[in-house]
Amino acid sequence: MKKVVKYLLLLLVVGLVGYQSVYFRKLSEYRKATGEKFDAPAFSKKIWDEQLPGKSDSAIALTDLIHALEASPENAFAKHSHVLGIGNYRYSLVKAEATVAMINEDEIILQIAHADSLMIVRLATEFIYGNAIRDASGLVDIKDFTNTTDLNAISEELNRIVRTAVLPSFKKEVKQGDKIEITAAAEFNKEHLYFNNLELIPVSLRIIK
């Protein structure tokens, strides 16, 4: 009987030691404790390759988002937009089929059928900057980061991917009158909503004809 009790006590001690030595920590806490530097290019590349395609596939149609915003801005923003900070700006990942109306040096003017008319939007092709893609994706949680430097680095890397991997071949091939499919990040000001002449930051682009 004594041997059984000793054996059970030994198992209890081993179990307690094991429990105390195995625990989970947030990645940001681990980096802070070990001094490991955040690898923004690798983190952003992983988002771009593994997570963003699924988000792009499920992006809301721009015209549907506009209808939702016109009907109930508060509900539409809550359901279809993201933001890391506070303020009036919200970011949404949208998709659309459009016609190329004009090709300028740093943007392409697009026409999108909306209701009974054509809506004009601007597709940025040169100045790709800011946090629109990062925030619109909804894939970055501010709680996982201890400083804004890392967050800004993610935005810069995602923007760089668009500038170097998405836009060059598209700009070489696209012509006035082409029909294209786009997925893009759109910025909205909750206090001053407007839809015509909206600027879109591209995530994916495909020429239909």
DSSP 177-192: T-EEEEEEEEEEETTS
- The chain-wide mean pLDDT, for the chain, equals 86
**pLDDT mean over 14-43:** 56
**pLDDT mean over 24-37:** 50
Q: Does 82 score more than 90 pLDDT? A: yes
Please give the pLDDT value at position 177.
96
- Asked if residue 135 lies in contact with residue 84, where contact means CB atoms within 8 angstroms, the answer is yes
Q: Does 76 score more than 60 pLDDT? A: yes
pLDDT category at 111 given cuts 50, 70, 90 is very high
pTM above 0.85, yes or no: no
Please give the pLDDT value at position 16.
42
- Report how far residue 38's alpha carbon sits from residue 158's, in angstroms, rounded to the nearest whole number: 15
**pLDDT mean over 123-134:** 96
Strands 89-103 and 198-207: unpaired
Instruction: For each of the domains in the chain, give its residue range(s) and CATH number, in order of start.
Output: 38-207 (2.40.50.420)
pLDDT category at 35 given cuts 50, 70, 90 is low
